[in-house]
Each structure stands twice: as structure tokens, then as C-alpha cells.
Amino acid sequence: MAREVPPLVPGSRSLRALLPESYRQGGFADRLLLGFDDTLAPVIHALDCLDAYFGPRTAPGDFLDWMLAWTGTEPVAPVPEPGRRRALELGTRLQGRRGTRAGLELFVREVLGGHVELTESGGTYRSRWPEEYPTAAQRSWAEIRVTLPAAVTGADGDATATGFGEATADAVVRLVRDWVPADVDVRVSVTDGRLAAGQDVV
């Protein structure tokens, strides 16, 4: 993963301090090592802070998205950075509850910062023969209503200015569907928290 090299950090350690005293005489060593110091100081600084690059609360933004891709919980673009960091911090706890009501509620509350209302059929289906699929009346179903906060939908309430419209709502719908078992017929609606009750965006 390529990243921009950080600028030279003031007060960084110089290679000159590692030389024997006999090699520090005169200005040649200073001039020679100055070029190496300019190149290596940012690298040494990054290595000194390496643990912070992999911490959910301290990772740089590009590392954050990179590590989220490892976990399979990468949120949609409109999710603010605190939500993305929370998704990484929850990690295996989220994955362990994937496909469950508790997992979906945890994801919407902690990552999207929203509220979810879920109505489902419940129950299970079994068949006596392989590839005997349930009828429409027997299939499991769920209706999910997600209310998003201003941090995701935008603070000024203007759907055009904030980008909260079909594009954002569709992305959230796809994200929620990924957390529902594949055999469940699901209907997902996304609601802006500032809109009147029952007024869905999607």
C-alpha cells in the first residue's frame, strides 16, 4: 500500500550520532549524512509510531479503510469517520453476530449511529427431500426500517446539498441487506431522522 512520505520531523535523530568520534571530524560527514537524514527521518518516525497505524482509534484514514476491507465490514462512503473507526473496533464482535437481529441492531446503532426497527416472520423451514424449496407462504421474511442521523444524512437538511438522496439510501439498503440471511425475503426502507414519521427516502 503506497502512502505519501511525511515531511521531515524537527528534532529527528541524525545518523551522525551513530558514527565513531573519529568520523565526526570536519564537515564532510555532516554534508554526506544530511541527505540520508532527510530521507530516513520520516521512515524512522513512521516505524516509531507503527502500532498507532493499526489501532482503530489512531490509524490514518487510508489505513482505516484498508483494514476495514480485511474484516468485510467496510461501511458505505457517507458513514463518518467515527463510525468507520467503531466498525473496526467492534471487529469480530460484529462478524460473530452477522445474520442475526442483534448483529444488525448493533451495526446500525454503533456504526451508522442510527436506529433500526425490524419486523420478521420468525420460525424455520425444513423439508424431507433435497432441493425442496419453501412456498411463498412458508418463506421467512423481514421488514427493516433504518432511521439515519444528521451525521450521515447531512446537518442542514438539504438532500441535494448533503448528498442524502437515492444514492446514499441505496448504498445503506445494500449494506443492510448484506447483514440479512440470504434465504430471507427482506424489504428495507431508509428514513431521514428529520423527516416526518413514515416519510421514507427509499
In the predicted model, is pLDDT for residue 22 greater than 90? no
* Domain presence at residue 5: no
Domain shared by 62 and 150, yes or no: yes
Domain shared by 133 and 164, yes or no: yes
Domain shared by 39 and 99, yes or no: no
Q: How confident is the model at residue 198 (pLDDT cuts 50, 70, 90)?
A: very low
Mean predicted lDDT score pLDDT of the chain: 75
Q: Name which of 78-92, 103-117, 164-178, 179-193 the model is least confident about.
A: 164-178
Domain shared by 107 and 178, yes or no: yes
Domain shared by 61 and 33, yes or no: no
* Domain presence at residue 197: no
* Domain presence at residue 106: yes
- pLDDT number for residue 144: 93
* Domain presence at residue 157: yes
Domain shared by 43 and 58, yes or no: no
Domain shared by 67 and 151, yes or no: yes
Domain shared by 83 and 181, yes or no: yes
CA separation for the pair 72, 68 (Å, rounded): 6
Domain shared by 70 and 30, yes or no: no
* Domain presence at residue 32: yes
Domain shared by 34 and 60, yes or no: no
* Domain presence at residue 6: no
* Domain presence at residue 4: no
* Domain presence at residue 9: no
Task: Choose between 98 and 78: higher pLDDT.
Answer: 98
117, 168, 77, 151: CA torsion to nearest 10:
-60
* Long-range contacts, stretch 128-133, CB < 8 angstroms, 24+ apart: none
How many domains is the chain built from? Answer: 2
Domain shared by 81 and 32, yes or no: no
Could you tell me where the DSSP H helices lie in the chain?
28-48, 50-53, 61-71, 81-90, 92-96, 101-107, 150-153, 159-162, 166-177
Range with the largest mean pLDDT of 52-61, 136-145, 162-171: 52-61
What domain range includes position 35? 15-48
Domain shared by 97 and 146, yes or no: yes
Residues paired with residue 115 on neighbouring β-strands, in sequence order: 147
Residue whose entry in the numeric block shows the C-alpha cell 489512531: 58
In the predicted model, is pLDDT for residue 139 greater than 90? no
DSSP annotation of 122: -
